Amino acid sequence: MLSTEELKRYNRHIILEEVGKAGQEKLKMAKVLVIGTGGLGCPVLQYLTAAGVGTIGIVDFDVVDHSNLQRQILFDVNDIGHPKAEVARKKLSAQNPFVQFNVHQEKLTSSNALALFEQYDIVVDGSDNFPTRYLTNDACVITGKPLVFGSIFKFDGQVAVFNYNDGPTYRCLFPAPPDPGSVPNCAQIGVIGVLPGLIGTIQANEVIKLITGIGEPLSGKLLIMDALTMETNLFAVARNANNAQITELIDYEDFCGLNTPFHETMQEMTSQELAERLEQGDDIQLLDVREPFEYEICHLDAELMPLSTISNRVADIPRNVPVVVYCHHGMRSAAAITTLQQEYGFNNLYNLIGGIHDWAANIDPEMEQY
């Protein structure tokens, strides 16, 4: 089963009594699907590749961005603008030629999830949003696949194994998603660069344990790590039969409240539309909700009002002219508009689609991008 070269490569595994040649052969025969090549997906992919998992699927439809390089260690400056999944495949193939990589350069949806998951033994969730997490969980339940879950938030990380040997599912821990906008993502609130490496490595370890049958998986447990104190805690997670009964996939953006009438009626503006209106001399106020250091890198002729200060600066925002709110990619600006519309009754706000990143790419290529 293992070639002479593979026996040499995996020697440190094979001499482990708990793994041995039989365990390494199990790794070679295994098929693992990794959702996302971001902060978590990068270390998961690298360690599973190094461990000799025979077939690895990579699901990601995004491209490499400057802001990824602080923590997504598979990528470098030469990869900016290129598809993450394909860049990952190329680099991982050089790391271990004995691994087969299947690139799924597409968004995971209710339409393709079941067919994708059926092709693999284990699914690893490296996503960063609630619709994908619930979709991944439900598709794993329906297809009977174990799910290795991980999440990060500023300095805290979580890892668990769901849907393993009739154990609890993600819905047993989180039956319902949080209110839209109540939990900021990494792009809005930041994350220490090494945290996804720590959490992603633990996820990879759980995958290896599941494949080889060694150790005690984090099934029925939630591991929480604080990177500032290096304290870890294990919490028991009980299976809830009602939450574990999933028979079909749904619209997960709707389930997570992203298709509510409010979100549907949020006014938006493209960079091209904004450029045309500014050129025509339209009276438009620009509002930048990024942080001061980001503003220094590049900015439009806008009022700087970081997202965290919005509620204290309401009086400074005009109500009698269109106000175009922007950030890096458009997520923090959407959160700002949510607050201003719902809590203060604004109806003259527009979210700049794609943020200043899109403006720099399509309107002002000479602008410093980050």
Q: What percent of the chain has pLDDT over 70?
A: 94
Six-digit token string for 41: 């997906």
Q: DSSP letters along 135-178, please?
A: HHHHHHHHHT--EEEEEEEBTEEEEEEESSTT---HHHH-SSPP
Q: What pLDDT is recorded for position 304? A: 96
| Mean local confidence (pLDDT), 284-290 | 95
Confidence tier at 262 by pLDDT (50, 70, 90):
very low
Residues with a catalytic annotation lie at 186, 327
| Mean local confidence (pLDDT), 119-147 | 96
Q: How far apart are CA 339 and CA 178, in angstroms?
A: 16
Confidence tier at 264 by pLDDT (50, 70, 90):
low
Residue found by looking up tokens 């700087």 in the block: 304
Q: What pLDDT is recorded for position 184? A: 63
Which H or E run includes 8?
helix 4-9
Say which amino acid occupies 92.
Answer: L
36-74 pLDDT per residue, tens: 999 999 999 999 999 999 999 999 999 999 889 999 999
Q: Distance of alpha carbon 366 from its chain centroid, rounded?
A: 29
* 26 C-beta neighbours (distance < 10 Å), count: 21
147-204 pLDDT per residue, tens: 999 999 999 999 999 999 999 999 998 887 776 665 666 766 789 999 999 999 999 9
- Worst-scoring range by mean pLDDT, 160-164, 216-220, 253-257, 351-355? 253-257
Pairing of strands 156-162, 221-226: antiparallel
Q: What pLDDT is recorded for position 358? A: 87
- Global pTM reads 0.77
Q: What percent of the chain has pLDDT over 90?
A: 75
Confidence tier at 260 by pLDDT (50, 70, 90):
low
